[in-house]
A and B are shown apart, each in its own frame.
Chain A
Amino acid sequence: MKMKYTDVGIVAIFYVICGLFFAETMKLPAESQTYPKFIVIILFGLTTLYLIQMIMNAVKNGTESGASDFEGFQAKQFFVCLVLAFVYILAVINIGFYVSTAVFLVVSLFFLKVKPLYIAIATVALLLLIYGAFTLFLRVQLPNNILF
């Protein structure tokens, strides 16, 4: 099996996670440090083991870019959806569930080139369903802040 260059990113992310958690662990009192430190060391060891396996694969079988995994990747579509999802999470907390969900659905479906009639039906139907099920039937509190 050839070494994929994209796996270098995975290794780097895991090392960053190990570093962040280790730094935070050192701020804890000694009695609370043991278990997280143990797990961080295990994760660090496994990541290093994976790195060694990658290097051995590179020496034995050569390398490949790993770009084939991203064939057909729609960068603009993906990153816009990702940003919209993050904005939606922040909006739910700060604005309220119903308004932010309505805006999120309309904007994201419009961006994905769904017909306006379908957008309207999907948004109204979903919000009515959630309102009926959660607010009226189950009386579960949904996030609400400055707006309904």
Chain B
Amino acid sequence: MLSTLSVMGQGFLHAMSPINLIMMIAGVAMGIIVGCMPGLSAAMGVALMLPLTFTMQQDTALIVLGAIYCGAIFGGSISAILIHTPGTPASAATAIEGYQMTKRGQAGKALFTACYASFWGGLLSCISLYFFAPLLAELTLKFQSAEYFWLSIFGLTIIAGVAGKSLVKGLMSGALGLLLSTIGSDPGSGMPRFMLGGNSYFYDGINVTCALIGLFSMSQVFMLAEKKITERAQASKVTDKMSLTREERKMIRPTIVRSWIIGNLIGILPGAGAAPRPRTTPSPAAP
């Protein structure tokens, strides 16, 4: 245990060297740029930036790639909060509540909250990775089809929480979503299903990013298009404060801890990725 801590300490000190810190900041900045562009996911950002790391030391290269990934996941929430279009699938839930805050003139606060939560989420998940990864890996190996099935059922139960006035309408929307998820090749037999005459665009099903842009961004465009333009928006002095008060920090602390635990449990599952986490985490910020 002591030797592990010693190695971890050495690694931490090495990561804090000036060149690594500079590359980390550059990586996060690049990741944020990639993440806030709808259509470019965090994984795609890492793939695009990979050639830049070929000439770097291995440790620096890994730091840069990790920084790009983390930056991109946070960057996705910028477009989600400001223009109601999730930059990455992971920020789909941020678009719902963050945009409501923007409409109330609290965009700065929403962005800072996303940044604050991303910081703590990233830091705590690193601690989890260090200490709990071996234990969680054992748990992951016990996950079979039945567990995945129940995890999916658990995901569907969230419909009850977000259905609003009519539960049946919410369930209908959920069932429609499930039906649309059958588009593409059948995972069991490889048979193409509902691909509009074998259109190869749908071979892997409906692309998540395209679906999110359609659901959040295009719906916003059409909602604006149906209203009469009575006056043009005028830029006014921004009075919104970015920083959070002590009470607000105290209020979101339990959410961060809860999200950290849920995120760890879902994140260790192969294939789940970052996208399902925000939707499985209950939020007190919901209006």
Q: Is the CB of A17 within 8 A of B226?
A: no
Alpha-carbon distance A21/B182, docked complex (angstroms): 10
Give the chain A neighbours of B115 by CB distance below 8 A.
none
Decide yes or no: A46 and B226 within 8 Å by CB, A29-B189, A85-B218 being known contacts: no
Shortest Cβ distance from A115 into B: residue: B232
Contact with A along B172-214 (1 / 0, CB 8 A): 1001101100100010110101100000000000000000000
Give the chain A neighbours of B188 by CB distance below 8 A.
31-32
Q: Is the CB of B172 within 8 A of A32?
A: no
Give the chain A neighbours of B19 by CB distance below 8 A.
none
Q: Is the CB of A78 within 8 A of B191?
A: no
Q: How far is the CB of B170 from chain A (nearest CB, A)?
A: 10
Decide yes or no: A14 and B176 within 8 Å by CB, A53-B168, A112-B229, A140-B48 being known contacts: yes
Whether, in the assembled complex, B238 has its beta carbon less than 8 Å from a beta carbon of chain A, the answer is no
Whether, in the assembled complex, B146 has its beta carbon less than 8 Å from a beta carbon of chain A, the answer is no
Cβ contact of A133, chosen from B33, B166, B218, B227, cutoff 8 A: B33
Whether, in the assembled complex, B40 has its beta carbon less than 8 Å from a beta carbon of chain A, the answer is yes
Q: Is the CB of A43 within 8 A of B179?
A: yes
Shortest Cβ distance from B170 into A: residue: A46
Whether, in the assembled complex, B29 has its beta carbon less than 8 Å from a beta carbon of chain A, the answer is no
Number of interface residues, chain A, beta carbon within 8 A:
36
Give the chain B neighbours of A101 by CB distance below 8 A.
none
Q: Is the CB of B191 within 8 A of A113?
A: no
Whether, in the assembled complex, A122 has its beta carbon less than 8 Å from a beta carbon of chain B, the answer is no
Shortest Cβ distance from B171 into A: residue: A46
Q: How far is the CB of A139 from chain B (nearest CB, A)?
A: 7
Interface residues, chain A, CB within 8 Å of chain B? 1, 14, 17, 21, 24-25, 28-29, 31-32, 35-36, 39-40, 42-43, 46-47, 49-50, 53, 72-74, 77-78, 81-82, 85, 112-113, 133-134, 138-140
Given contacts A24-B194, A25-B193, A140-B40, 16 further A-B contacts (CB under 8 A): A14-B172, A14-B176, A17-B179, A31-B189, A36-B194, A43-B175, A43-B179, A49-B168, A50-B166, A50-B168, A72-B227, A74-B225, A77-B225, A77-B229, A138-B48, A140-B48
10 A-B pairs in the complex with CB atoms less than 8 angstroms apart: A28-B191, A29-B189, A35-B182, A42-B178, A43-B179, A47-B172, A53-B166, A53-B168, A77-B225, A77-B229
